Amino acid sequence: MDIEGYVKRCLEKKIPENKIIEDGFKRIMEIKKIDEDIAKEFVEAVIKEVKTTQSYKKIDDKKLKYLLDYKKSGVKMGEMGGGSRGKGDFYIHRQIARIIESTNQKTEVDSREQDDAGVVKSKADYIVVAVDGTHSRLSDFPFLAGFHVCRACLRDVFVMGADPVALISDIHLADDGDVSKIFDFTGGICAVSEAIGVPLVSGSTLRVGGDMVLGDRMVSSVGAIGVIKDNKPTARKRAEIGDVILMTEGSGGGTISTTALYYGMFDVIYETLNVDFLKACKNLIKYDLLKYIHVMTDVTNGGLRGDAYEISKTANVSLEFYKDKIYDLINPKVLDMLNKLDIDPLGVSVDSLLIIAPKEYADEIMKKTGAKIVGEVKEGNISYLIDNDKKIPLIPEFREAAYTPVKKVVGKMKPNEEEFEIMKEKVKKACDEAIKKKEFVKELLSKD
């Protein structure tokens, strides 16, 4: 069931909002065991979001409207046989190859040959692989979805100290989705691919749930493969006491675009359309500065709160950040939007490049990346935000900061500490069972 798709269809049919809420909340209660009032509030929030996002069609900015819209083909995924591995599916893949071919300047085998895997030449000491899922709320904005998920997986490879050499993609479109979503999504990937010089070489296209899921929901991901030739991976565990912490300006990506879309602040989307992070990383490789860097990461998962927490725990050090310097490195338009909407800038993905390195190399790193010093590494295992004379622990919340109307409702549904510990134990047992099954099958295979 797709609540957002249900609400969109109802609004298109001019069904009164009170009727949508009444019927929608009943559908939710069939699946979820939650408070009835929260279920109704959830549907109300979805209605608000759908009406807000669809209002982009009325804006005067023609370029932005062109970017957010996708020209429908009038052919649905299921009608064309998309994902069903027949003539229609093969034809779709040949069209995808047409979009990708301009990225394939460094490939031996690519999508034009219709092979299942792509091939690039490389010499390396380490191979680095990352995959990122597309932001779920960008299903109706496939170009933005492709653009931002491509940037995300390239960031993950770059921050490990690797030079990306190839991209792969995977897109699942529900049975009623217009096939043009696939092409728009691929176009978004290729915009980044060509801007940064990393080819898209392979991918997969299927339907969400095959014949079983109705609607036009799109789920997708992009993966990146990189190489490290002469240096060591810049993993989180390498942070050392006495290092300085540097950060580049963050303008956001998929999360900030989603916030802008679902609150109707559409012009902020322009701020996210850049590859500055990736260019800064390329400069670190180009000028051979990676050998001086202990840690690189992107300020994404759960914002700075989440990343600082993970680095502290992994490296057993304390990261201390200066609040004013951090806020100075969040894009002003993005920061203004977050402040207006009462969204914690430290609990949401702003997509800055964060670098930890010895102090003596800071000037050269700043010169080549535009980064600035925002803190230092000290003894301890908890990170802190320094606000004038206050030292405030940087601890992640149960969820990242609520950045859409629906997320503000969902934020009310969280377990207490006792419930959370019970859930953790259940999850651990489920994992144990999967490990048992793996060992069982390994034993079967060893008998052959």
User: How many independent structural domains does the chain possess?
Assistant: 4
b/e string for 161-192 if b means 16 or more Cβ within 10 A? bbbbbbbbbbbbbbbbbbbbbbbbbbbbbbbb
Are 244 and 388 contained in the same domain? yes
Are 217 and 261 contained in the same domain? no
DSSP 135: P
Helical pair 3-12 and 17-31, crossing angle rounded to 10 deg? 160
pLDDT tens digit sequence for 331-382: 999 999 999 999 999 989 899 999 999 999 999 999 999 999 999 999 988 8
Residue type at 187 in one-letter notation: G
Q: Write down the pLDDT at residue 115.
A: 46
Are 266 and 346 contained in the same domain? yes
pLDDT tens digit sequence for 63-102: 999 999 988 888 888 888 876 667 777 678 778 888 878 7
Are 359 and 406 contained in the same domain? yes
- The rounded distance, in Å, linking the Cα atoms of 74 and 189 is 23
Are 292 and 431 contained in the same domain? no
Are 399 and 426 contained in the same domain? no
Report the DSSP beta bridge partners of residue 95. Answer: none
Are 39 and 71 contained in the same domain? no
Are 113 and 224 contained in the same domain? yes
> CATH number, domain at 399?
3.90.650.10
Domain that holds residue 133: 67-232
Cα 390 → chain centroid: 33
Q: Report whether pLDDT(221) > 90.
A: yes
| Selection from 314, 311, 413 nearest residue 356 by Cα | 311
Q: Write down the pLDDT at residue 442.
A: 87
Are 284 and 214 contained in the same domain? no
Q: Write down the pLDDT at residue 303.
A: 86
